Structures are given as C-alpha cells and as structure tokens.
Amino acid sequence: MANTIQIKRKTTSGAPTLGALAEGEFCLVEPDNTLFLRHNGAVRQLIVVQEISQAAYDALSPPDSNVLYLITS
C-alpha cells in the first residue's frame, strides 16, 4: 500500500519554530527555498534550493555541498 507524505509549508522567511513541527516532521520555507526537519528536539536545516544559470554554476569553485542547485536557462 502506498503512503502519502505531506511536507508542512511556511510562507514567511526564517526557520520554523520548534513548537511548529512534530518530531520527524519536515517543513519547506517557501521564500527561502529551504527544507528543515525537527530531529532529536531541534530544528535542523537540511537543504537549500537555489536557482542558478549554467554559467554561474560553472563559475562556482567548488559548489556548496549544502545547496541543491536548480539550473535554469
């Protein structure tokens, strides 16, 4: 049987508060394009999604390993 996973969304900038998330719950902060997780009683930033051109990506040395780059044309 398939499970549906829903990620909480926050429409204002900044990390979600500890009380806003249950243990193990994810939250996508839309203005910051950042994914957070509540784990072991703390809110942790997991990944940042950054839109970037191919040329700008190629100029990075090295790219940030904590950023998921979305190459746009």
pLDDT value at 21 more than 80 = yes
- Average pLDDT estimate for 20-29: 94
pLDDT value at position 5? 83
- CB under 8 A, 24+ apart: contacts of 44-52: 45/15
* Average pLDDT over every residue of 29-39: 94
The whole-chain average pLDDT of the chain stands at 91
Question: What is the reported pLDDT for 3?
Answer: 86
CA–CA dist 54, 59 (Å, integer): 9
What is the mean predicted confidence (pLDDT) over 27-47? 94
- Asked if the model's pLDDT at residue 2 lies above 90, the reply is no
